[in-house]
């Protein structure tokens, strides 16, 4: 997929659309137009009344590792000491020192 450049509509003094221009990093989309009115992520969170750790969960490596696991019937999520992995029931029992379950 090719990279896309966002555009904005240019208006004359009467409010008529007269052309397009590339959206610049210092441009913003106002609240009335569906944006946040901010040019930074921090400014957007402030404009929306959101705070990391209060309204938004901050990035967490453990959550990212869990989200990356593949679901499989009869499997268990366990830690291997450094990250989260999926193991079969038998492997999980052995990892936990519980034997074979017979």
Do residues 40 and 51 touch, judged by C-beta distance below 8 A?
A: no
Alpha carbon of 51 to those of 29, 40, 81: distances in Å? 21, 14, 31
pLDDT digit string, tens, across residues 45-81: 888 899 888 888 888 899 999 999 998 898 989 888 8
DSSP letter, residue 75: E
Q: Which pLDDT score is estimated for 68?
A: 92
Q: Is the pLDDT of residue 101 over 70?
A: no
Mean pLDDT of the 29-55 span: 83
DSSP letter, residue 52: B
Structure tokens at 73: 């019937």
- Distance, CA of 78 to CA of 93 (rounded, Å): 10
Its sign, for the CA torsion 47, 51, 54, 55, is positive
Q: Is the pLDDT of residue 16 over 90?
A: yes
Do residues 76 and 85 touch, judged by C-beta distance below 8 A?
A: no
pLDDT confidence bin for 84, thresholds 50/70/90: very high
Q: CB neighbours of 45 closer than 8 A, spacing ≥ 6? A: 51, 52, 56
């Amino acid at each position: 997929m090719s990279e896309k450049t966002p555009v904005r509509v240019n208006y004359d003094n009467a409010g008529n659309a007269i052309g397009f221009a590339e959206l610049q990093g210092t441009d913003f989309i106002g609240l009335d137009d569906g944006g946040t009115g901010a040019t930074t992520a921090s400014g957007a969170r402030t404009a929306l009344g959101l705070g990391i750790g209060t309204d938004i969960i901050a990035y967490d490596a453990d959550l990212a590792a869990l989200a990356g696991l593949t679901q499989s019937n009869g499997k268990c999520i366990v830690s291997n000491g450094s990250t989260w992995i999926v193991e079969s029931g038998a492997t999980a029992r052995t990892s936990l020192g519980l034997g074979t379950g017979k």
